[in-house]
Every structure is written in structure tokens, then in C-alpha cells.
Amino acid sequence: MIEERFDAIVIGAGMAGNAAALTMAKRGMKVLQLERGEYSGSKNVQGAILYADMLEKLIPDFREDAPLERHLVEQRFWMMDDRSHVGLHYCSDEFNEQRPNRYTIIRAQFDKWFSSKVREAGATVLCETTVTELAQDAKGKVVGVRTDRGGGEIHADVVVLAEGVNGLLGTRAGLRERPKPDKVALAVKEMHFLQRETIEERFNLEGDEGVVIEAAGTISRGMTGMGFIYANKECISLGIGCLVADFQRTGETPYGLLDRFKRHPSVARLIKGSEVKEYSAHLIPEGGYKAIPQLYGEGWVVVGDAAQLNNAIHREGSNLAMTSGRIAAEAISQVRSRRAPMSAENLALYKKMLDDSFVIKDLKKYKDMPKLMHTNSQNFFLTYPQLVSRAMQNFVRVDGTPKTEKEKVTLKSFVNARSWIGLFGDAFRLARAWR
Amino acid sequence: MTVEPSVRVEDKLFYNRYLVDVGRPHIKVRAHTKPSAQLLALLRACPARCYELNDKGQVEITVDGCIECGTCRVIGEPTGDIEWSYPRGGYGVLFKFG
């Protein structure tokens, strides 16, 4: 099919793959990018929030033509029990700025645009092409790929694996393990369409202002998981995800969970009367720092979700993907400019540069959080949300009970549920993991 | 294996666009007489409900509605219960929004 040889082959056209392909093409490298979908974005699923800073580093003037939905002026965190939510909302007019910091986006549309920039930069983007295998030489060095289009191997000096959280190729070639059920979450999502004005009224927005809600609590039924509600221009992205291991253990169904979330009184009023136009599902890397695989080797690097680079605590993934793709490309380009081979020894530069970036620093900071959240999921996702909700109700309901008695009831409910040792232990463990 | 009555996954999948690669399923279930715990878990964990029990009590898959998340791969591939590949280029689910 393609007889020529490339400087680099990028597998996948998501955030990481597009960032890598763009960066290398801009530096004059001969890049082939392979994508199994009809177009970049047709297989990609995310909430989705776009982080401007990381995209500016790739496309400084992206605001001119990128398909952006709403710039975020408000972030809500909801701790939910079955009929209530306790909210922490941060809304600031300062986010109505010249160059807003975060936007909601619709991935299929955004990625198509991102891909057009990759093509403009000179990369060859081949869609509807599934890579079936990495081509390796006798010593195991990755020398190219084989695709389902036939025609033998396509060769390159280096292969960038941007194949996503469920990437098969790296695992098949023995470069990294398959994600384990307790290290990935399954999230399901629906796109709810409403009149633009209706969304703005319900979410208290003006113009292109946007808001995102991250929700945790009894909605995950004691499993480690979270729900989300993101306001786009004319639709709402709504979803919920929990660890695959928890689904496996409990027998809860993802669509059952989504349905309950949608019927929660705090949520139902936001989507009332909407028309659903898509139902999607995706895995999310949740293992954090300790789940990061070997990032480079002879003739290859791995970036983005495929490398498990996702900050579950801050719900950041696409920016880590973009940044790792860019940094890998910069490292490759540096090796190339020295006319050095794409060996593991030389590609170690990618890991060194990534270690120095926020990507690895942030993941390292929260290295103990995934385990804590998983082993204590009943407490953090069921018991505490219920207790806090009860406490808030007790605090605000006026019924003639003296306040000191109300406080005693609340305190007693916490101690009864978790004991003093449990309470202090949870606080200590959380503080230590957060540190 | 009851599913919440108000949720019909089949209806949800109607929202989606697919290009089905007829006769070339990208996921296969290994032949078995009695399904493993992992295979049984897929009946409920698959978000598209692609897995079902046949009248002999074996787990079967129909991949037409698959949304390619990989959950069944994570659960069922390590035990050899299923074989997982991506659909051929251009086939499978086509997200309009994603």
C-alpha cells in the first residue's frame, strides 16, 4: 500500500496522537498517522473539558476556529445521597476573560478540527485503517506496523503508540500489560439536547458561559465512581463511571447506574424534556502513578491514555494526553536532530522530559489516592455522603430542637457510622494520600 | 439477570450510528459448556448488553451494538474467555459527538 518509509508513525488520532503528529510534522518530520475511525474523533469519547493552556502550546490561536462549546465560569462539586446534594460551587466572573482557561467541547467535532491542523502541518493522516500489529525485528526493536489494509509492513524510525486506554498493540507486542479491572473505570454517557436558552436558564448562564458539575456519592452505590454533567451550547453531556472491578464484583449495570443518576431529583430537572442523540461508553485510566507502564523502548514510545496518564482526582486526562504527545514528539525530534538512532537509551529523553512536567509531578502527588478510594469506596462514596447530607438537613431544618441537641445528633451519627478511630483514620489516610 | 425495567439498552443503541462488518465479529466468545464467573459478569458489565445467555446456559455475543469500550476485554481476555480485536478500519460504531 505505502512503499515509502516514514520518520515516524503515530497510531491513533485522539488528543495524544494528534499532539504528537502535529508537533513532529511542524518540525519537518515525515509523519504517517493511522486512525481506525472514519475520521479523527469518530471513535473518541470524553466528557469533555478542554484545557486551553496545553492546547495553546500546540496551536496558540486555536480560539479562532476550533469548535468550542462554552468557556467555563463555574465548577460545581456535588456530594449526593438519594434525594439531595451538598454542593461546593465556585463561580467567578474572572473566568470571563480574553483567553478563557477551560472550555466544554464535543470530541468528535473537536478532534476533526484538530486533525485538520495535523494535515495542514504536513502529516499524512490515513483514516479507516486499523493497525493489526507492530512490526519488530529479530531483536524486538519496533520497526513499523502492519495494518488491515494489507500490503505488508510500513516502516518508520519510531512508532508513537497513541492507541488509547484500550490499546491492543502494545500489549500484544509485550511492551505493557493489559489494564486491570481495578485500574480502569467504565464510564457511560448520553448527549441530551435542549434549546440553548433552556440550558442557560437551568444552569444560570449568560451567552457562551459554561458550567460543569462533578458528582459523587450514593449515585455509585458504594462503588468507586463519579457522575458528571457538562453544559455545552445546545446539549448536556451527562454520564457516570465506576471501576470495572466494582461492576464485576457488584453486578451493577452501567446503564442502570446512569438511569438512576438521571432520575435523581437534582439531575432530572436539568435534563427534563431533552432529546437524547447518542449513548457512548469508554474506559478511563484510574490507576494513577503506580499504573504507568514502561513509556519507551527500542523504536517506540507510548503516550496519553495508552500510558495510563490520567489524573483521576482532578478529572484531567486530555491535557495529560496532549502534553505527553507533544513532549514525546519533542524528544523524538531532538534525538533525530542529533542524527542518533531511536533506541531505548535515546528515547529515555521522553521520560526525563515528562518527569519534569506537571504530568508526572501531579500523578506522583496523588500516587496513593487510587488505592485509598478503592479500598474505602463504601465509606467515601456511600457512608460519608449520607452522613453529610443528614448533617446538612439537620443543620438547616428548623423544628424547635435546640441547636446543641442537633449538633449532638449529628456528631453521634458520624461516630456511630465510623467510630472515632475510623473518623480520624479516614481523615489521616486522606490527608496523607493528598499530601 | 433482571435489568431495571425502565432501562432498555436496545433503545439507547438506536441513537447511535454503526457500520456493521457483517460476518466478521471483532469479539469472539470461546466455546464452553458452563460459563466462567468472568463470562457471567459480562452479561451485566457490558454497557451495550452485547452478551446474553442462550437456552443452553452458555454466554453468547452479538457485536452489532458494541460501543468498543473494552470492558469485556479487561474482564474476559485474561482468562481466555474472549478474543478481542478492534473492528476493521471504518467499521463499528461511528460517534457523531463522542
- The amino acid occupying position A280 is S
- pLDDT for A132 equals 97
Whether the CA torsion A374, A378, A380, A381 is positive or negative: it is positive
Distance CA A72, CA A101 (A): 8
- The amino acid occupying position A259 is D
On average, the pLDDT of chain A sits at: 96
B27-48 pLDDT, tens digit each: 999 999 999 999 999 999 999 9
Residue A165: all three cell numbers together: 486506554
Residue B5 has pLDDT above 70, yes or no: no
- pLDDT for B3 equals 47
Q: Give the ipTM.
A: 0.94
How far does B87 lie from chain A, in Å, by closest CA?
Answer: 8
Provide the CA A290 distance to its chain's centre, in angstroms.
17
Distance CA A373, CA A426 (A): 11
- The amino acid occupying position A238 is L
Distance CA B29, CA B61 (A): 7
Residue B1 has pLDDT above 50, yes or no: no
Instruction: Select the residue from B8, B50, B95 to test the A interface by mutation, using most A Cβ atoms within 10 A.
Output: B95
Taking residues A238-259, report their average pLDDT: 97
How far does A337 lie from chain B, in Å, by closest CA?
Answer: 34
Taking residues B53-75, report their average pLDDT: 97
Distance CA A228, CA B34 (A): 38
Contact (Cβ atoms closer than 8 angstroms) between residue A106 and residue A4: no
User: Is the preceding omega at residue A48 within 30 degrees of 0, hence cis?
Assistant: yes
Distance CA A6, CA A143 (A): 10
Residue A209 has pLDDT above 90, yes or no: yes
**Per-window interface: A 12-71 vs B, CB < 8 A:** 36-38, 41-46, 48
In the block, cell 473494552 appears at B70
- pLDDT for A277 equals 97
B5 part of a folded domain: no
Q: Which residue of A has its CA nearest to B16?
A: A278
Q: What angle is formed at CA A75 by the lines to CA A69 and CA A78, rounded to 5 degrees?
A: 125
- pLDDT for A2 equals 56
Residue B4 has pLDDT above 80, yes or no: no
Interface touch B69/A282, C-beta < 8 Å: yes
A309-351 pLDDT, tens digit each: 999 999 999 999 999 999 999 999 999 999 999 999 999 999 9
Residue A167: all three cell numbers together: 490499546
B2 contacts chain A (CB < 8 A): no
A117 contacts chain B (CB < 8 A): no
Taking residues A92-104, report their average pLDDT: 97
Residue A435 has pLDDT above 90, yes or no: no
Could you tell me which of B90, B12, B60 has the C-alpha nearest to residue A188? B12
- pLDDT for A3 equals 62
- pLDDT for A151 equals 84
Residue A398: all three cell numbers together: 428548623
B16 part of a folded domain: no
Residue A214 has pLDDT above 80, yes or no: yes
Residue B2 has pLDDT above 60, yes or no: no
- pLDDT for B8 equals 85
Sequence ranges of the domains in chain A: 5-66+105-177+290-365, 184-285, 369-434
A 10 A CB-CB count for A249 gives 13
A 10 A CB-CB count for A37 gives 29
Contact (Cβ atoms closer than 8 angstroms) between residue A147 and residue A134: no
Q: Report DSSP state, residue A379.
A: I
- Print the domain residue range for B43: 28-94
Could you tell me which of A271, A264, A103, A267 has the C-alpha nearest to residue A194? A271
Instruction: Select the residue from A258, A259, A278 to test the B interface by mutation, using most B Cβ atoms within 10 A.
Output: A278
In the block, cell 455509585 appears at A220
Residue A259 has pLDDT above 60, yes or no: yes
Class of domain A5-66+105-177+290-365: alpha beta
CATH number at residue B89: 3.30.70
Q: Name chain A contacts of B75, Cβ cutoff 8 Å.
A: 181, 244, 248
Residue B36: all three cell numbers together: 466462567
A132-147 pLDDT, tens digit each: 999 999 999 999 999 9
Say how many domains are in chain B. Answer: 1
CATH for A184-285 is 3.30.9.90
